[in-house]
C-alpha cells in the first residue's frame, strides 16, 4: 500500500480572531463614551473668548517667527473655484467621525488585537486633548482679522458651526490640538500597522488631505496639527502595540497548521 500526506483541515484562524475580539456591548459603550466625552468635554471649556483671541495672535506670530508656511497659501489654492472650496468644507464636516468609526469597526471585525491598541491610543489622545482648551483656549484662524483668511464654510458652505455666541453644540475656541488631524493620522498608522499590503502607505493620504483641508478652510493653524502629532506620538510610545499581522492573514487565506501525516489504508 502507498503512503500519502494530507494537510489537516485548518479552522483555527477564525476561532483565534473571535477569541481575541472583546465583547461587543462593552466596546460599543466605550467607543460611544469616547465620542461623547470628546463632544461634551470641549463644551465645558467655554467662556474664555478674550484669552482665545490673544492666544490666536500669539500662535499666528509664532508661526511667522519660525517661518512656517502661511495658511493663506493653502486657502488661496482652494479659492480658485467654488466647487473646490465646497468640497473641502464637506470633507471637514463629514469625514472626521465616520472615517474614525469605520476604522474602529474594521479593526474590531478583522484585527481585534489591533483594535484594542488603536482604541486605547485614541482614548489617550482624546483625553489629553480635552485639557488644552482649559489651559490654552484658541480662536481658529478664520476668526482672526488682518490675516487675509476667510471663513470658507460660511461663504461657500456647508458649515458645521453657527455664530460663536449662539453655538451651543461645540466650542469654537478649542482649535488646539486638531483632533481632526490627530485622529486621521492614527487611522493611517493603525491601518498600516494592521495590514501588509505594499500599498498600505497610501493610507497617509487621509491625514495629508485632512491637514490641507483644516488649514485651507481656516479652521486650524499648522501648529494645531503639530501639537496633535506630538500628543499622538506620546500616546503611541505609552500604549503597547500588538504584533504585525502575517502576510497570509492579510491576503485572507487561512494559515496552514503543521501538516499531519496520514497513511492511506493504514489499519486496514
Tens of pLDDT, residue by residue over 25-71, are 888 888 788 777 776 766 665 667 889 999 999 999 999 999 999 99
Cα distances (angstroms) measured from residue 12 to each of 9, 32, 116, 249, 254: 9, 31, 21, 12, 8
User: Does residue 193 lie in a domain region?
Assistant: yes
Any domain includes 75: no
State the pLDDT at residue 231: 97
* Residue 195 structural domain: 89-147+181-203+227-241
C-alpha closest to that of 85 among 222, 225, 218, 207:
218
Answer yes or no: is 26 within a domain. Answer: no
pLDDT of residue 211: 98
Count Cβ atoms within 10 A of the Cβ of residue 185 and give its class: 0-12 exposed, 13-18 middle, 19 or more buried: buried
Number of domains the chain contains: 1
pLDDT of res. 34: 76
* Entry field: residues in the chain: 268
Confirm whether 44 is domain-assigned.
Answer: no
CA nearest 105: which of 232, 191, 199? 191
Does residue 158 lie in a domain region? no
Is 107:118 a contact under the CB 8 Å cutoff? yes
Q: Is residue 109 part of a domain?
A: yes
What is the structure's pLDDT at 262? 42
Query: What is the pLDDT at residue 27?
Result: 84
Q: Does residue 104 form part of some domain? A: yes
pTM over 0.85: no
Alpha-carbon distance of 180 to 218, in angstroms, equals 13
Q: With respect to residue 12, please indicate whether it lies within any of the assigned structural domains.
A: no
- Percent helix, strand, coil in the chain (nearest 5)? 60, 0, 35
Q: What is the pLDDT at residue 156?
A: 93
pLDDT under 50 in the chain at which residues? 1-12, 245-268
d(CA 132, CA 91): 25
Amino acid at each position: 500500500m502507498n503512503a500519502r500526506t494530507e494537510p489537516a483541515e485548518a479552522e483555527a484562524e477564525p476561532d483565534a480572531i473571535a477569541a481575541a475580539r472583546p465583547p461587543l456591548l462593552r466596546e460599543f459603550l466605550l467607543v460611544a463614551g469616547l465620542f461623547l466625552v470628546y463632544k461634551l468635554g470641549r463644551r465645558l471649556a467655554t467662556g474664555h473668548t478674550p484669552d482665545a483671541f490673544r492666544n490666536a495672535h500669539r500662535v499666528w506670530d509664532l508661526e511667522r517667527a519660525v517661518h512656517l508656511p502661511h495658511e493663506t497659501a493653502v486657502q488661496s489654492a482652494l479659492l480658485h473655484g467654488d466647487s473646490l472650496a465646497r468640497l473641502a468644507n464637506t470633507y471637514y464636516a463629514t469625514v472626521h467621525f465616520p472615517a474614525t468609526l469605520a476604522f474602529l469597526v474594521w479593526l474590531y471585525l478583522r484585527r481585534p488585537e489591533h483594535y484594542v491598541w488603536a482604541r486605547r491610543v485614541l482614548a489617550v489622545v482624546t483625553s489629553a486633548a480635552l485639557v488644552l482648551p482649559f489651559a490654552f483656549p484658541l480662536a481658529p484662524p478664520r476668526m482672526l482679522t488682518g490675516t487675509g483668511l476667510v471663513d470658507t464654510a460660511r461663504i461657500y458652505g456647508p458649515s458645521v458651526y453657527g455664530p460663536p455666541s449662539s453655538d451651543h453644540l461645540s466650542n469654537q475656541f478649542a482649535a488646539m490640538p486638531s483632533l481632526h488631524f490627530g485622529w486621521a493620522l492614527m487611522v493611517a498608522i493603525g491601518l498600516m500597522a494592521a495590514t501588509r499590503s505594499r500599498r498600505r502607505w497610501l493610507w497617509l493620504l487621509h491625514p495629508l488631505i485632512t491637514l490641507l483641508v483644516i488649514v485651507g478652510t481656516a479652521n486650524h493653524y499648522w501648529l494645531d496639527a503639530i501639537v496633535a502629532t506630538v500628543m499622538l506620538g506620546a500616546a503611541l510610545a505609552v500604549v503597547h502595540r500588538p504584533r504585525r499581522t502575517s502576510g497570509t492573514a492579510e491576503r485572507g487565506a487561512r494559515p496552514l497548521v503543521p501538516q499531519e501525516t496520514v497513511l492511506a489504508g493504514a489499519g486496514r
